[in-house]
Structures are given as C-alpha cells and as structure tokens.
Structure 1
Amino acid sequence: MDSQYAELLVRADGWPAFMQDVDLFGTPDPLGEPFDEAVQLLSTLETETVDASALDVASCVPIGASRTGIDLFVMPRADGSTQTPVIWLAGLEVERYISFEEFFQAMIEANLDEAAALRERQQDTEG
C-alpha cells in the first residue's frame, strides 16, 4: 500500500464526503457494499479507456468513489519504491495525480474553490 494513503488511514481511517459525494474508503470499507460497487465499476471500464490510460485494472485498488455517480479514484498496488499515482476515472480518465499527496491537495483546493463560489452565490442572492 502507498505510504501516503496508509498515513491517511492511520489518521482518519477514510473520509466520508471528502469531495461532494465522493467518499475516501477506510479500513472497514473493503468488507462493504460501496467498495464492492467501486470494484465492479472498475471492472466495467471500456477497453479503450483501459488502453488509453495504460491501466492494469487487476493491480488497481479503489481508494474512493462517488455515492451517486461514476467517479472512481484508484491507485495501482504500490511496491514502495516510487510514488504511487492516484487516477480519477469517470468513464474515462479525468485526471492523474503523481502521488496521494498531490491528489489530496488538489481535492482540498477544489473544495475551497467550491465553498468560495457558494458563498459568492449566497451573497448575490442576499444582496
């Protein structure tokens, strides 16, 4: 397992609603339905998507998934010698982050941007 992701599991053991309706899985999740659904979604990727993303589906582990959509976050199984990318899939590859830390920072920034946009909309409707 990637050491950065393992550190999150030690500190937070997953994160419900990490980004909108996307949950990051914790240690009990591989025994539950959301994780099973993520594995199923991963197995249904089109061959073109797998080839275009150079994915080895058998070595990818879901680390998070949308509760209502097809967004799926996976990491290839880590050997500890290099940084492990996080790959965001939603039918196609949406984004690839070079490490869990980069992914985590990008999601924090996206959440902050969304919160700012919501505040701005609220101020527009009140003013």
Structure 2
Amino acid sequence: MPVATGTHNVDTFVLIKHGNPNAGTAVWLSGDEIDRFPSFHEFYMSMLDYNRLEVKTLKEELEAGEG
C-alpha cells in the first residue's frame, strides 16, 4: 500500500499489507530499494530524523551564504 510519494522525484514509500510474511514493513523505493524499516513507527521516526538533518543543513548553508 503506498504511504507517500512526490511529484518532483521518484521516491515512493510503501507499507506491506497484512497477509504477506513481511506485513508491517515500510519500504523506501527510488528506482531501486533505498531502505527498509521493520515497522511504520521506525519509518516515521527515521523520516523525522532525516527532515531535522535537512533543516539543519539548509540553515547552515543559508548562514554561510550558500543558499
């Protein structure tokens, strides 16, 4: 089941449904499999960390005059 996707890139996030041996696993796809998370919670927490890092990097670039 798709969880999230975007219009500006090929990233897609899917959650494997019940009835499959990997049910509950979240998978990040971008052409190929990028990462696999054992649960939606782990996926969500990882995406929060990723976004926090992205904001930190953007702030640092802005402060350095790179953005």
The normalised TM-score by structure 2 is 0.84
| Larger Rg over CA atoms | 1
Shift, 1:66, TM fit: 1.5
2:28–2:35: 8 Å Cα contact kept in structure 1? yes
The structure, 1 or 2, with the larger RCO (C-alpha pairs under 8 Å, 6+ apart) is 1
Alignment of 1:40-119 (within 5 A): 61-78=1-18, 84-119=24-59
Runs of 4+ in 1 over 3 A off after TM superposition: none
Alignment coverage as a number of residue pairs: 64
In 2: Cα distance, 1:72 partner to 1:78 partner: 19
RMSD: 1.9
The normalised TM-score by structure 1 is 0.46
Richer in helix (by share): 1
Q: Structure 1: which 5+ runs fail to align?
A: 1-60
Percent identity between the aligned chains? 30
